[in-house]
Structure formats: C-alpha cells, structure tokens
Structure 1
Amino acid sequence: MSCTSSSMDIVPDDTFNDFAPLSKRRRVSDCSRSCEDSSCAPLKKFWFPDGDIVLEIQTRLLKVHRRRLQCSVIFSDMLHIPQPFETDQIDGCPSVALVGDALADWEVALAWIYHHDEFLNQVVTFDILSGALRISTKYEIPGLRRWAIEELSSRWPVDVVSMRLNALPHAAEAITLAQECNVPEILPAAFYALSVQKFHASADGGRSHLVLSPNDLRRLIAGREALQDALLRIAVDPLTEPGCANNAACAHCAPRRAEYWRARLAPDPKSPWSTWLVRELDWMLRDDAFAGTLCPACFHGHMSTIKWRLGRLRGAMPGFFLL
C-alpha cells in the first residue's frame, strides 16, 4: 500500500500509489515523543485527550480518534493493517504525517466528521467547498464528497439556464478544482460563468490567466468566441433562425420584435459582465408584457425563436468550451 505512514511501517502496495497521503519517517531510538518535543504545535480544537492517533499537518498536531477516521476508505484500510510494536509515537499515540495536505482543508473535513449538524447549517464558502472536496477525494470519504459535489453543482449546475449570480465568484478556481478532483459535470457552467465576466474588470475574469492551466485558458477563449459569434448572429438577424419551425413575422410586429431583441441583448458598458445570453433568453420567455403586444402569429413565432435558440445554446455549451 503506497499510503506509507510517517510513524507506522506499512507494507507497500502499488494499488494506492495515486493517493500516497502518508510519508515514512526515520525511526528514532526513543519511539515515544511528547507534543512538547515535536516541532509542531497542537491544534486545540482538534486535540482530544482521549484521542488515539496524532495527525501531523504542516506545523500542527491533531490528536483525534481512529474510529472517526474510518469514514475514509484509505484510513480504514490503513488502520486495519497490524503495526509493529515499536512505532514512532507522540503523546503516547501513533502519529502520521500528512505530507502535501493543507491544514485548512483538514479542519474542514474534521468539522464535518466531528460537528456534522453544525457543519451542514453553516454558511458555505468556496474555501470550505474546495477543502471538503480535496480531502474527501484524496482519502475517499464518500459522504463528504457527495456533499461537496452537491454544493458545487448548486452553484455551477448541469443546466446552465439555472445558473445564478453566485456562479460568478471563484469560477476559475472551480474549473481547476473540478479538473483536480474529477467533477466534470460542473465544467460547462463554470466556464460559462467565467466567460461572461469582463477581463478588464478586477474580478475573476481579470485574473483567470493566473488560475487556469494553458489548456483550460484555451477552452475559455474558444468558448467566449463561440458565444460572441452566437450573439452577433442574433444581432444581425434577430427574427430568422435557420431550422426553427416557426419564424413568422408580420410587417407590423417585425420592426418592434427586431428592436426588442437587439435592446435586450445589447451589452451594458457599466456592467461587470457582458451579455449573459442564456439568462437573457430565459427572461425573454417570461416577458409577457412584450409578448402580449404581438399578433397571434408573431407571438408564436417570437416564443418559438426564443425556445429554439435557448435549446441550441444549452446543448452546444460543452462543445463551445471544447469539453
């Protein structure tokens, strides 16, 4: 098992090489150390006197309970392997150093493990989401991973029409996190949320080149170009959509319909984002005030055109971003 312990001699097994959460530490003659002897300091809120295992993360010590850690497939497997009698200990407990992990991420995971109800009722920030997903993915904690994916999907839903303003912050980080932790279902919405933001603004769009990989930055640019092309086609000819079954437009309603489309989809120079095409089309479907002014034939043509364009965008969004 490649999950080698800093304080436990684990039999190597290539099966878990992708995880490698624990690193082997040099054996010392005195196997038992106190927390005062360690170069790390105890983290009080996760230092339980009756704990039976110590986690060393960055420069902090966490004394927790083995039974609590067994919600993790990786820890459950590791802790069921018999250990040699002489293993390095801290405060009378076996210790493991979680090399490469962030303390903040583990604080999220342990809050979910120890204070489950409070955890579920808190305000969920992106840092909490990312920490939960990274630890639950690396150490295989199914319940925590499901929760994190559900929360991510509520911000970056599969159906981009359901996306709201809370999808705009951290969109670039969400893309990187989804790639790292294998959550591809949020990628179209996260890319779309980032693509509508103006790059000259001091928001996510303006710093996406610092967060995204070169491949993902290429996807973002390709998607922005595809969306701009779609918007331009509508601006040039608002009333005609090839393939749409009903494009009826009478001489009386046609000029007002064309003006309506162009006005609704025109970018607002004062807005921090460009035309949010999917959202605008969704709102236009519910704009009864304007639709009610059209003759029956133009009403059906107007609604059919909106639905057709919205459906096409929904289906094309992953392809726009080369997903």
Structure 2
Amino acid sequence: MSCATLILNSMDIVASDSENSNDEMPLVKRRRLSGSCNATSRRTMVKKLWFPDGDIVLAIEKRLLKVHRRRLCCSTVFSDMLHIPQPPETDQIDGCPSVELVGDTLADWEVSLGWIYDHNYFQQNIVTFDLLSGALRIATKYDIGGLRQWAVNELLSRWPEDVANLSLNALPHAAEAINLAQECNVPEILPSCFYALSVQKFRSSADGGRSHIILSPNDLRRLIAGREALQDALVRIIVDPLTEAGCYNNAFCGQCAPRRLEYWRTRLAPDPKSVWSTWLVRELEQMLRDDQFVNSLCSDCVHAHLSTIRWRLGRLRCSISSFFLL
C-alpha cells in the first residue's frame, strides 16, 4: 500500500463496505471517452476511493475511482469539461460517466484526492517529497489553483528564493526538485535547488552522488558551472580575505589584521571529511553572528569585519542565479 493510500486511510476517506473485502475489485471498462480502448479490457475498483454516492468514475492505470463531480470542480479543466453536455450514447460505469486519465499515475491522484477531500490534513502534517511532487503534477496539469499554491509554498519552504534561508532540509531531493520545477514551471526554487545540490560532494552518498543520473544534460551543465563559480569565489576570499576591491576592510590594523586573516581562512577552509563542500552562504551568515570573535576586535576592525561579511554575502546572494546560468 502506498504512502498516499495511508494518508487517505488516516482521513477516513472510505467507501462503504461490500461483500468483497479486498481493496480492489474487478470491473469491466467498456470504452474511454477519448481515444481508442480495448472494449474488453479489465479494470479494478480502488475500494478506498469508490464512494457509493459518487457521480463520476476516473480510470487511471487500469484502476477505477468513483468520486464526486463537485469535488473535481476545483480544477478548471474538470469544471469546464463537466459543464459540457455529454452525448446520450456515452458509455457509463456503475451508472456514472467515466473519464480515462491517460499518462497519470494512481499514486499522484491518491495524494491529490486526499487534498481535495480534506486539505486541512496536509496543512497540519509533514508531507514527503514524493507526495508533494505528485500533488504538484496533478495540480499543474488540471489547473487546481489551491492545490498548486499549497504545493509551491511547500517547495519554497524547502528551497526558498533567497539562498541565505536554506536549511539542511534543502539537501535531500534537490536534484528531483530541479526536474520537478522544470516540469511544473516553478522557476523560483531553481537557484536554491542548484545551490543545495552544489554543496554536496559527488563522491558521498548524498543526493550529489546521483545527480548526473537524474538531471538533464543542460541542468548538469548548470550545476557544474555553478560549482565552479562558487569555488572561484571561495578561492578569491581565502587568497585575499581582507583587501578585496570594493569593500572597506581596514587591513592595516597591526593588532587585528593577522587574527582576522587567520579567522577567515580557518572558517572557510574546506573540510575533506565533510559530506559537503564549503557552504559559503551559510558560513558567512554564521560569521555575522560570531559575537565572540567580533568582540575581540578593535572598534574600527569590528566595522570593517562586519561590513566585509555583509558585502560579500550580499554580492553572493545576488550572483547565485547567474552562477548556475539561470
């Protein structure tokens, strides 16, 4: 049983009992409304999504779901279709018109119907990436505005538009999220997705180790270009932490300058044992909050130190999209 089915169970979206206790019971689908179909093809009823008072049957991957038209009308596509009068000779299943949803998966529709029937459940519970991606695909294809907005908001909570707000939750499924964003037109998450994937080492067991299998050639090129740009930015800082052109640094304080130099290089030095490379944006954010080191500097160097961090952080945040050729 899929995760989506378990969610539906928890919401008690259950059809009435019948003499057959199996979750799926065989039915015959006579023909679909669009395209050709073998008139004798066997279909099975998904009992948990077979409502006795349903008034439309959805055929998905040789499975039948009997649901309610009024529920499906949250979709612009279904709303328009259901308001078109059907010819009297249209074949029916269990006294209801049927629609075959070609190219969809049962798992995607299970989670989408879960939201359609009880979307409060999803707003109050953690949803896995697989369920989230399934809901977004259906919402995008059938123009379900509320479901799509919920899914996009969930994606943005993991891959926010500002990479400075990334957390460890952004590391898993970053490659899959890139593909999902391309498929479902959610470009606002792409900079964070690429950045989250770029800090993961390919040789580790994290997502970075299989991104070349998942990503398209163009997106893999973007990832490589972004990693190189970030590495170049890191090298420039480590080579010359205090006197980069365009930023006030006060590099001539004999007391603080040597300690500041060592601090920058120590904080940003790559750790060969880590599963990710230097997470530059995150490190700069943490350096801003390192009160112990800041308080050890003279007043002039405090201003120079903090202004240098903010300047580099701001420039980096503005450059992420261009680094990844977005």
Q: What is the CA deviation profile of residues 165-204 of structure 1, one whole-angstrom value per residue up to 9, with x for unaligned ones? A: 0000000000000011110100000000000000001221
Equivalent-residue separation in structure 1 for 2:286 and 2:152 (angstroms): 28
Task: Assess, with a 3 A threshold, how the Cα gap between structure 1 residues 276 and 26 changes in structure 2: closer, same or farther.
Answer: closer
Distance 2:267 2:194 in 1: 23
> Residues 15-164 of structure 1: matches in 2 within 5 Å?
23-26=34-37, 39-164=42-167
Tell me how large the CA RMSD over aligned residues is.
1.4
Residues 243 and 249 in structure 2, CA contact (< 8 A), matched pair in contact too: no
Report % sequence identity: 73
The Cα of 1:24 is off from its aligned counterpart by: 2.3
Offset from partner CA, 1:216-251 (integer Å, 9 cap, x none): 000000000000000000110111221113444401
- Distance (Å, rounded) in 2 between the aligned partners of 1:58 and 1:92: 21
Q: Which range is displaced more, 244-253 or 157-166?
A: 244-253
1:7 is aligned to 2:10: no
SS in 2 for 1:56: strand
Distance 1:115 1:44 in 2: 18
- Give the whole-Å Cα distance in 2 for the aligned partners of 1:236 and 1:281: 16
Residue 279 of structure 1: which of 277, 282, 298 is its match?
282
CA contact (8 A) 2:200 2:207 kept: yes
Matched, 1:193 2:204: no
CA-CA distance at 1:78 after TM superposition: 0.5
2:205 aligned residue:
202
Report the TM-score when normalising by structure 1: 0.89
Q: Distance in 2 between matches of 1:259 and 1:59?
A: 65
Q: What TM-score do you get using the length of structure 2 for normalisation? A: 0.88
Pick aligned residue for 1:213 from 193, 198, 216? 216
Structure 2 regions of 5+ residues with no counterpart? Answer: 1-30
The corresponding residue for 2:294 is 291
Q: Distance in 2 between matches of 1:25 and 1:46?
A: 25
Could you say if the C-alpha distance between residues 27 and 128 of structure 1 is closer, same or farther in structure 2, counting changes exceeding 3 Å? Answer: closer
Aligned pair count reads: 296
What is the aligned partner in structure 1 of residue 303 from structure 2? 300
Hey, what's the Cα distance between the residues in 2 that align with 1:247 and 1:314?
Answer: 24
Mapped partners of 2:38, 2:172: distance in 1: 47
Quote the Cα distance in structure 2 between the aligned partners of 1:247 and 1:43. Answer: 71
Instruction: Check conservation: 1:160, 1:189, Cα contact below 8 A.
Output: yes
Q: Does 1:180 align with 2:191?
A: no
Task: Please say if residues 170 and 196 of structure 2, whose CA atoms lie closer than 8 Å, have aligned partners that are also in contact.
Answer: yes
Which secondary structure does the structure 2 equivalent of 1:83 belong to?
Answer: coil
**Contact 2:268 2:280 (8 Å CA) reproduced:** yes
- DSSP 3-state at the match of 1:40: strand
Quote how far apart the aligned CAs of 1:7 are.
Answer: 3.5
* Alpha-carbon distance between aligned partners in 2 of 1:201 and 1:258, rounded to the nearest angstrom: 31
Q: Which residue of 1 aligns with 2:6?
A: none
| Long gaps (5+) in structure 1 | 1-5, 9-22, 29-36
One-letter amino acid of the counterpart of residue 284, structure 2: L
Secondary structure, aligned partner of 1:310: helix
What is aligned with 2:226?
Answer: 223
Q: How far, CA to CA, are the matches of 2:32 and 2:52 in structure 1?
A: 19
How far off its partner does 1:99 sit? 0.8
Work out the CA distance in 2 between the residues paired with 1:42 and 1:247: 74
Query: In structure 2, what is the Cα distance between the partners aligned to 1:250 and 1:51?
Result: 78
The runs of at least 4 aligned residues of structure 1 exceeding 6 Å deviation read none
- Paired amino acid for 2:94: D
Using the TM superposition, name which of 224-233 and 83-92 deviates more: 83-92
* CA distance in structure 2 between the aligned counterparts of 1:118 and 1:293, rounded to whole angstroms: 50
Instruction: Give the 3-state SS of the residue equivalent to 2:42 in structure 1.
Output: coil
Once the two structures are superposed, residues 135-170 of structure 1 have per-residue CA deviations (whole angstroms, 9 ceiling, x without a partner) of 000000000000001010010001100000000000
